[in-house]
C-alpha cells in the first residue's frame, strides 16, 4: 500500500477521489487501538498543561459529509479529557439574528479563549459549502469568503490560537451503510433526517465545494488534513496523533509555582 498524504500541500489543488477513505497505512487494527490509548493519555497530559499555561488556545475544526463521523470523533478522541477545558460548538442553520450579521459573527463568539480547546462540529466553512451548493447567495458573494476566512484564521493565529482542520473522508458506500444503521437501530433513529438524502444526491457538488475550500484555505497557520474515515479506529488514531503533535509543538509549560512552597506546613 503506497503512502497517502494526509496534509495536502499548501497552494496546491487536490481531487478527493485521489484520497482513499479506506486507507490505514497498513497498520494492524488491534495494535493501533493500543497505541491510540497511549496517545489519549498524552493528550490528557497536554490538555492539562494548556489549561494551566493559559498563553495559547487550540481550535479544532471538523467537517464531513452527513454520517462522516464528527460526533464519533469528538466522543472517542476526547474521552477522559478534562471537560472543564473543552468547549464543543455545533453550527446548525443560522438564526435570523445571525443572518443579520456577517457570516463570521456567530463563529467568532465561540472561538476558544487561551487555555482552552475549542471544537467546531461544522464551522464557518458551511458558508462556502452548503451556501455554494444550494445557491443561497450569489457566487460573487461566497467566492470572497475564502479570503475572509483566511484573514479570520490568521487573526486567531496571531492572537495565540493554534488551528487544525480535519475533513473526515468517507465514500458513498460507507455513508449508505451508516444511514441504513440509523434506520434499523432504534437508538440511532433520531440521527436520521430525510434531508440527508437530498444532500447525498448532491454528493459530487459537495466534493467540488470541499476541494475548493481545502485548496483556498489550506494555510501554514491553519492547515487542512484529509482523514481517511471509513475505518473509525484509524480515523481516531490519525486525529489523536495529529493533536498530540500540535500541542507538543506549542511548547506548553506549567506556570511557575508560588515562592517558598517548600516552607509551607499544612496544619493537622
| Residues 151-168 pLDDT 10s | 999 999 999 999 999 999
259, part of any domain? no
232, part of any domain? yes
For CA atoms 67, 21, 204, 214, the dihedral sign is positive
- The whole domain housing 186 covers 16-249
Quote the pLDDT of residue 9.
Answer: 93
What is the tally of structural domains in the chain? 1
76, part of any domain? yes
Q: CATH no. for residue 133?
A: 3.40.50.300
Q: Using one digit for the tens of pLDDT, what is the confidence trace for 192-235?
A: 889 889 999 999 999 999 999 999 999 999 999 999 999 999 99
190, part of any domain? yes
9, part of any domain? no
Q: Which one, of 62, 61, 195, 211, lies nearest residue 134 by Cα?
A: 195
42, part of any domain? yes
pLDDT category at 2 given cuts 50, 70, 90 is low
266, part of any domain? no
Quote the pLDDT of residue 268.
Answer: 85
Q: What is the mean pLDDT of residues 226-255?
A: 97
263, part of any domain? no
Amino acid at each position: 500500500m503506497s503512502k497517502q498524504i494526509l496534509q495536502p500541500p499548501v497552494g496546491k489543488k487536490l481531487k478527493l477521489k485521489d484520497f482513499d477513505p479506506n486507507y490505514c497505512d497498513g497498520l494492524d487494527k488491534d495494535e493501533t487501538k493500543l497505541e491510540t490509548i497511549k496517545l489519549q493519555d498524552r493528550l490528557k497530559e497536554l490538555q492539562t498543561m494548556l489549561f494551566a499555561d493559559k498563553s495559547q488556545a487550540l481550535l479544532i475544526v471538523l467537517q464531513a459529509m452527513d454520517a462522516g463521523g464528527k460526533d464519533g470523533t469528538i466522543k472517542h478522541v476526547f474521552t477522559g479529557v478534562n471537560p472543564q477545558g473543552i468547549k464543543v460548538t455545533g453550527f446548525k442553520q443560522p438564526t435570523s439574528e445571525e443572518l443579520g450579521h456577517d457570516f463570521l459573527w456567530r463563529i467568532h463568539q465561540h472561538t476558544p479563549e487561551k487555555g482552552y480547546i475549542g471544537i467546531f462540529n461544522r464551522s464557518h466553512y458551511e458558508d462556502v459549502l452548503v451556501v455554494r451548493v444550494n445557491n443561497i447567495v450569489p457566487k460573487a458573494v461566497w467566492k470572497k469568503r475564502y479570503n475572509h476566512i483566511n484573514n479570520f484564521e490568521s487573526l486567531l493565529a496571531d492572537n495565540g490560537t493554534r488551528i487544525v482542520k480535519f475533513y473526515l473522508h468517507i465514500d458513498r458506500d460507507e455513508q449508505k451503510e451508516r444511514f441504513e444503521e440509523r434506520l434499523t437501530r432504534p437508538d440511532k433513529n433520531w440521527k436520521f433526517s430525510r434531508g440527508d438524502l437530498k444532500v447525498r444526491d448532491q454528493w459530487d457538488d459537495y466534493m467540488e465545494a470541499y476541494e475548493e475550500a481545502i485548496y483556498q484555505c489550506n494555510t501554514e497557520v491553519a492547515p487542512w488534513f484529509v482523514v481517511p474515515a471509513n475505518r473509525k479506529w484509524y480515523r481516531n488514531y490519525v486525529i489523536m496523533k495529529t493533536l498530540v503533535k500540535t500541542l507538543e509543538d506549542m511548547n506548553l509549560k506549567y506556570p511557575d509555582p508560588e515562592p517558598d512552597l517548600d516552607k509551607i506546613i499544612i496544619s493537622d
